[in-house]
Each structure stands twice: as C-alpha cells, then as structure tokens.
Structure 1
Amino acid sequence: MEVQNAREKKDSVVEPMVHLIVFKLGIEEFGIRIEQVKEVTITPEITRMPKTPSFIKGVANIRGDILAIMDLEERFQVERSASVDRHTYTLVIEAKDYTLGFIVKEVPQSLTLPVSSIDKAPSFIQDININENFIEGIGKIDNRLIIVLDIFKILTSDEIMELRG
C-alpha cells in the first residue's frame, strides 16, 4: 500500500512552469517572464531626445509616467520584419532603478512552458556576449524556438546611468 502511495505521489508531482510574454523581433520569437512585465500598451506618441543611443527612440507618456522607449530590434541588431503595422506595442518593464518601455511590432502573446523545455543558451553564444548575458535560455514548444530574455540584463550599468541622468 505504501509503495503504491509513494508511486502515486511521484506521478502527481507537478512540473514547475514558466509564464512568458512572447513577441517577435524580426522573424524570431522572444519571451520575457511575465513577472518582469508591468503592462502592455499600444505605443503612444514618442518624443525624440537628444544625445541618447540610437536604440532609444525617445520618451513617451504612459499613464502619466514619462518613460524612455527602447527599440529592441535595433538594440539587438535584428533584421527588421517586413510587416508594417500601423500600431506597435510597448512592454513596460519596471526594474529596481528604472522603468522603461520596449517596442514590439505585434501583439505580445501569453505562453506557459514547463521549465524543463527551456535549455541554457549554447555556451559559445554566452562567451561571445560576455557583457550581454541577457539570454536566459531557449524555450522549445512544438516546432518553435523562443529566445527567453532576462529583460533586466539588457542594459549595461553605464546605459542605465545615462538614461537616469
């Protein structure tokens, strides 16, 4: 009886899941853990700011807060997708030291994956991007590969200081 109960408990172990917000940059799919995203909104009008990196498109008023808006395709040097939508969407990220918006071209989707379906990025990619270890892993679901980002590591400390100043 105890052996059977132990087996039932083992079979009923729930695999940990990761809830992602998934979006496309160019033709590739990327994901961010949902707890790193404060909100998703249609991108408001952006005001260009002088002396900012080219991947910072400017600032925008989102619910009364003035946020820097970053173009992730430009930041990652991803070839832009051919689709030209009238609207873009902004993922609002609230880190400890800053709040920032990231532009994405399509409506982000919610996706839940088992933790076991996310592999570490190949070590040679991490070695190449020593200062850019923002790739948490590669999620696999069906025939899709989703690059999972740690959004809080996308900016260097120098860039954070530049944006705050």
Structure 2
Amino acid sequence: MAEAEQSSDKKTSKPDTIIQLIVFRLGSEEYGLRIEQVKEVTLTPEIARMPKTPPFVKGIANLRGDIIAIIDLEQRFGLRSFEEELPALSYTLAIEAKDYTIGIVVREVPTPLSIPASSIEKAPEFIQDININDKYIEGIVKVDGRIIIVLDMMKLLTPSEIMQLQTR
C-alpha cells in the first residue's frame, strides 16, 4: 500500500518548469528578465533628450515606428554616475507593458539562459525592504558560479514615473 501511495505522489508532482531569462550586465553585476517581458533586443537607436524627466530617463527613441522612453538602469540603480555617458555602441531591450513600452539600455549583448523555475530563490527580505516602495527583484539565481538578479520589469517603475513615460 505504501508503494502505491509513493507512486501516485510521483505522478502528481509536476516536473520543474523551465523558464528563459535574458541576461545582461549592469555595472559589474548580472541581471535577468523573463523572456516574455522582452519584446525585442536591438542596437540602441538615436535618443532624443526630453526635458523634465528623471536623470535615468535618457530620452525617447523611434523603435520600428513606435516612440518609446529609453531608460538607463545603471543610473536608476545608482551603479554609475549621472554624468557618465553611454558607450557609442549599446543595446536596447524593448519591454512592453499594458500601458507603455520602454527601452532598457545595456552595454553588452544580452544572452539567453534557460533555468528551472525552482532555481529562482526569493531575495532576502532586507534587500526588498530598502527598495523604494516596490518589490521589483523577483529573486536570485545561482548558476555555474554566477549570481543573477532577476528583475520584474512590471514592478520597476513607480506609478508617477509610468505617467511621465506614457506617450499615447
């Protein structure tokens, strides 16, 4: 009887879901986004500076006919000074939310990474508590000696920042 219970337990336990991340560097750290949050990755288009925007908003750009806000997460997270310019060659991850599309500027080509969903560990509570009003760190992944901070882009911007970025 015990064997029958064990075999039924095995049938009901689901195999670990594999998720795909797009991994990129900000400063000297690696960050990842779930692939379903990334619409596309492209060379950063020409950016037009916009007045009265936060310093981490680099401006707006035309991405395949859509005008999107371009955001520098290194500045947003305080990993680089506001005066330091982006390199001549950078990449943009287009992130599409319900009400807006934004571009995230990164210095190097982002890379895909497949991992089991169970390998995303919850971020320590004290790290979440010091982030301004939100919990945009989904978790931490440790893989092959690397530590990757997984972000939830839908929670990254505050409602007032989203209002500033909406171009529709």
Q: TM-score, normalised by structure 1?
A: 0.88
Give the aligned partner of residue 66 of structure 2. Answer: 65
Give the aligned partner of residue 7 of structure 2. Answer: 6
Match of 2:130 among 125, 128, 132: 128
Corresponding letter in the other structure for 2:79: V
- The CA distance in 1 between the partners of 2:94 and 2:137, in whole Å, is 19
Match of 2:149 among 123, 147, 150: 147
Gaps of 5+ in 2: none
Task: Please report the RMSD computed on the Cα atoms of aligned residues, expressed in angstroms.
Answer: 2.4
Give the aligned partner of residue 101 of structure 1. Answer: 103
Task: Give the stretch that moved more between structures: 137-146 or 122-131.
Answer: 122-131
Question: How far 1:130 sits from its partner (Å)?
Answer: 5.0
Give the aligned partner of residue 30 of structure 1. Answer: 31
Identity of aligned residues (%): 62
- The CA distance in 2 between the partners of 1:86 and 1:162, in whole Å, is 27
Task: Give the stretch that moved more between structures: 13-22 or 65-74.
Answer: 13-22
Local SS of the residue matching 2:104:
strand
- The CA distance in 1 between the partners of 2:65 and 2:55, in whole Å, is 24
- The CA distance in 2 between the partners of 1:163 and 1:38, in whole Å, is 17
Superposition map of 1:36-115 within 5 A = 36-79=37-80, 86-115=88-117
Gaps of 5+ in 1: none
- The CA distance in 2 between the partners of 1:19 and 1:129, in whole Å, is 25
Question: How far 1:15 sits from its partner (Å)?
Answer: 1.4
Give the aligned partner of residue 157 of structure 1. Answer: 159
- The CA distance in 2 between the partners of 1:154 and 1:130, in whole Å, is 10
Task: Give the stretch that moved more between structures: 12-21 or 112-121.
Answer: 12-21
